[in-house]
Amino acid sequence: MQYLHTMVRVKDLNASLDFYCQKLGLVEVNRHESEKGRFTLVFLAAPEDVERAKEDKAPLVELTYNWDPEEYQGGRNFGHLAYRVDDIYALCQKLMDAGVTINRPPRDGHMAFVRSPDGISIELLQKGDSLPAAEPWASMENTGSW
């Protein structure tokens, strides 16, 4: 058995690509549009997984955009996507500067949670050992649910 991808339905493809690519840092590795099926599939990989994703078509996040409007609910009952990051403080600061709410700040220097425009919970985990506690993160409260 081999993990391939996680599919997330999105309401606004441009807003989702802005979040996942411009803010979170994922890379688009493939796109498929179906006139007949009236949908667009966009496959994204973490920067360190791009070559593997192109070769194996895994591991990926598949954004599914249905051209006909549809209301999706739940985000949180999906669970979450998790990414290991080089510097959790730097990424959280970059996300905050881009207007993303840090729902669960990295108070412990190890773990944080944010949400995509469609309410999908994204877990960020520090690569290696936890970073030493640092402000403003150490005293920052949770915001919303994650």
Catalytic residues: 123
Question: How far apart, in whole angstroms, are the C-alpha atoms of residue 15 and residue 23?
Answer: 11
Tell me how many degrees the CA angle 18-19-24 measures, rounded to the nearest 5: 115
Amino acid letter at 27? V
CA distance 52 to 127: 19
* Residues 122 and 113: beta-carbon distance below 8 Å: yes
Helices (H), 44-116: 50-56, 88-97
Rounded distance, CA 45 to CA 52, Å?
9
Starting from the edge strand earliest in sequence, which strands make up the sheet with 102-104, in order?
A: 80-85, 121-126, 111-115, 102-104
